[in-house]
Amino acid sequence: MSRITRIETADVRFPTSLGLDGSDAMNPDPDYSAAYVIVRTDASDGLSGHASAFTIGRGNDVEVAAIRSVAELLVGYDAEALLDDMGATWRLLVHDSHLRWLGPEKGVMHMAIGAVVNALWDLKAKRAGLPLWQLLSRMSPEELVALVDFRYLTDAITPAEALDLLRATEPGRAGREAELLGDGYPAYTTTPGWLGYSDEKLDRLCREAVADGFGQIKLKVGASLDDDIRRLRIARAAVGEGFPIAVDANQRWDVADAIEWIRALAEFDLHWVEEPTSPDDVLGHATIARAIAPIPVATGEHAHNRVIFKQLLQSQAIGVMQIDAARVAGVNENVANLLLAAKFGVPVCPHAGGVGLCEAVQHLSMFDFVAVSGTWQDRVIEYVDHLHEHFTTPVVIERGRYRAPLAPGAGTEMRSESIAAYTWTGHPKLAEVAGA
C-alpha cells in the first residue's frame, strides 16, 4: 500500500503572444499557460502523476489555486484505493458538495478537478507500464462503464446501452490496435491558420501542410469578412480543390450573424464551421446547423461538461464533436463523452494545441478507435506544432498522422527544465488590460 504524500503545483506560462501564435478572433494575444500539478506517493516505484489545465495567461494563478484546493484533499489517501476505482475517485471529487457550488461542473473548479483526475490517470498508466490509450483499451466493457457517472445522462444513454455498445466493438479491439500501431491516427493542422499571420506566411504554411501529408487544414475566421474571403482564397489556391478546409470562429458571432457570414463563405467548400457562437448556446448551434447544412457545425473545446455534449447531440446541433482533454473533469468524463458520441453516431475530432493538449487527446482518440466507436472514418485529431519540446514524451507526427505513443503514462508530463524556466513570477499589469 502507498499513500498520496504530496501535491506540487506550478504556474507555467509561455510567452506565445510575442509571435501571435494562437491568435484568433476572440483571443488576440494568448500566452499559452499550464496550471500544472504533480501527485506524489510514498511508493517505492518513485512514480508520480502529472497533468495540467490549459489557460491562456492571466488567471492561470487562480487555476493553480483551484488545483491545489482540490488536490490537497487527496493528501494522505491510499493511492491504490484511488487508482483502482477511478469511477469512485471521480465522484469523490466532482460531487464534493462544497466544490460543486463553485460550478457546478464548470469553469475553474471543474478544470482543476480535471487536472487532478488526469494526473491520477497518468500515475495509473505509468504503474501499469502502458500508454493511457492502451490501458483504457484493455479494460473490459464493465470496467469502462464503471468509470462513467451517468447522472444527468440517462435520457440519452444508460449504463446498459453503454455496455452493449462497448461489447459490440470488443471483438475487433486487437485488430484495430495492430492497425493503429502500424499506421498511426489521422491528423489535421491548424498551424497555417492563425489570424495574426501574414498572407505570405499563410500561403507557405498551407503548402507545407499538404506537403507534410496532412489531410485537412483549419483557418481562423470571424474578425473581418473581407479578410476571411481573402485568406480562404489564398488557402484554397494553396491546397487545391477538394482538399478539406475547416474554419473556426472562436465564438465570435450571434446566431443570425453566424448564418449570414458562413453563407458568404460558401464558395470555399468548408469542411466544418467551428465554434460559431457561445459554447453555452445549444439551441443556437442547432439553429445554425439547420441553416448551414450540409456544412457541419463543430464545437466542444469550451463545452464544459458531458451535459452540454449530451444536448448538442440530442438537438443535432453538431456534426463534429470536439472533446478537450483539459476542459472537462478529465479522462472519466471524456469516456462519457466518447460513449455519447458513439451512441449518436457523431465523429469525435478532439481539440488540441495549447500546452500539451495534443499529447493528451491522442490517447482519447486512439482509445475511441480501438474500443468505443471502432472507426477513424471522418475522424482527425487536431495538430498544432507548438511547445511539444517541453514534454517528456512529445507527440510524433509522421506523414500527417499521430504515431501511437508507447511510453507509459498519459503523455502529460512536462520536462522539469521547462517548468523551471517558464514558471511565472510576475503580476498582471494595468497596461495589459488597458490596451485590450
* Gyration radius of the chain over CA positions: 21
Which span (136-144, 304-312, 338-346, 389-397) binds its own copies, by CB under 8 A? 304-312
Among residues 3, 60, 6, the alpha carbon closest in space to that of 425 is found at 60
C-alpha cell at 317: 446541433
Residue 298 Cβ, how far from its own copies at the closest point, in Å? 17
Site for its own copies (CB under 8 A): which residue of 2, 6, 85, 107? 107
Site for its own copies (CB under 8 A): which residue of 59, 129, 175, 240? 59
Gap between the Cα atoms of 159 and 340, Å rounded: 11
Expressed in percent and rounded to 5, the helix, strand and coil fractions of the chain are 45, 15, 35
Crossing angle, helix 330-344 and helix 86-94, to 10 degrees?
A: 100
Which span (20-28, 128-136, 338-346, 360-368) binds its own copies, by CB under 8 A? 20-28
Cβ atoms of 367 and 136 closer than 8 Å:
yes
Cβ atoms of 341 and 298 closer than 8 Å:
no
Task: Note whether 311 binds its own copies by CB under 8 A.
Answer: yes
Task: Note whether 310 binds its own copies by CB under 8 A.
Answer: yes
Task: Note whether 101 binds its own copies by CB under 8 A.
Answer: yes
Which span (28-36, 333-341, 357-365, 408-416) binds its own copies, by CB under 8 A? 28-36
Site residues for its own copies, 372-391, by CB under 8 A, read: none
Task: Note whether 5 binds its own copies by CB under 8 A.
Answer: no
Task: Note whether 223 binds its own copies by CB under 8 A.
Answer: no
Which span (107-115, 124-132, 186-194, 203-211) binds its own copies, by CB under 8 A? 107-115
**Which amino acid is it at 38?**
I
Cβ atoms of 298 and 318 closer than 8 Å:
yes
Site for its own copies (CB under 8 A): which residue of 308, 323, 325, 336? 308
Neighbours of 251 (CB within 10 A): 22
Nearer to its own copies, 104 or 172 (CB): 104
**Residues near its own copies (CB under 8 A), total:** 73
Looking at the annotation, which residues are catalytic? 220, 351
Task: Note whether 326 binds its own copies by CB under 8 A.
Answer: no
Task: Note whether 55 binds its own copies by CB under 8 A.
Answer: yes
Neighbours of 98 (CB within 10 A): 7
Which span (153-161, 169-177, 213-221, 238-246) binds its own copies, by CB under 8 A? 153-161
Site residues for its own copies, 252-281, by CB under 8 A, read: 254-256, 277-281
Site for its own copies (CB under 8 A): which residue of 3, 40, 50, 110? 110
CA-CA distances (angstroms) from residue 236 to 206, 228, 247, 351?
9, 12, 12, 23
Mapped onto helix, strand or coil, the DSSP state of residue 38 is: strand
End-to-end CA separation in angstroms for the chain: 52
Which span (66-74, 116-124, 127-135, 222-230) binds its own copies, by CB under 8 A? 66-74
Question: Phi, psi (5° rounding) for residue 23?
Answer: -80, 135
Residue 74 Cβ, how far from its own copies at the closest point, in Å? 8
- Cα angle 307, 311, 316 (rounded to 5 degrees) comes to 150
Gap between the Cα atoms of 226 and 230, Å rounded: 6
Site for its own copies (CB under 8 A): which residue of 45, 81, 84, 95? 95
The binding track of 165-204 with respect to its own copies, each residue x by CB under 8 A or -, is ----------------------------------------
Cell numbers 489517501: residue: 77
Nearer to its own copies, 122 or 324 (CB): 324
Residue 364 Cβ, how far from its own copies at the closest point, in Å? 21
Task: Note whether 106 binds its own copies by CB under 8 A.
Answer: yes
Site for its own copies (CB under 8 A): which residue of 6, 302, 388, 403? 302
Task: Note whether 292 binds its own copies by CB under 8 A.
Answer: no
Gap between the Cα atoms of 35 and 259, Å rounded: 36
Site for its own copies (CB under 8 A): which residue of 20, 43, 92, 396? 92
Gap between the Cα atoms of 133 and 128, Å rounded: 12
Nearer to its own copies, 58 or 388 (CB): 58
Gap between the Cα atoms of 73 and 226, Å rounded: 52
Mapped onto helix, strand or coil, the DSSP state of residue 247 is: strand
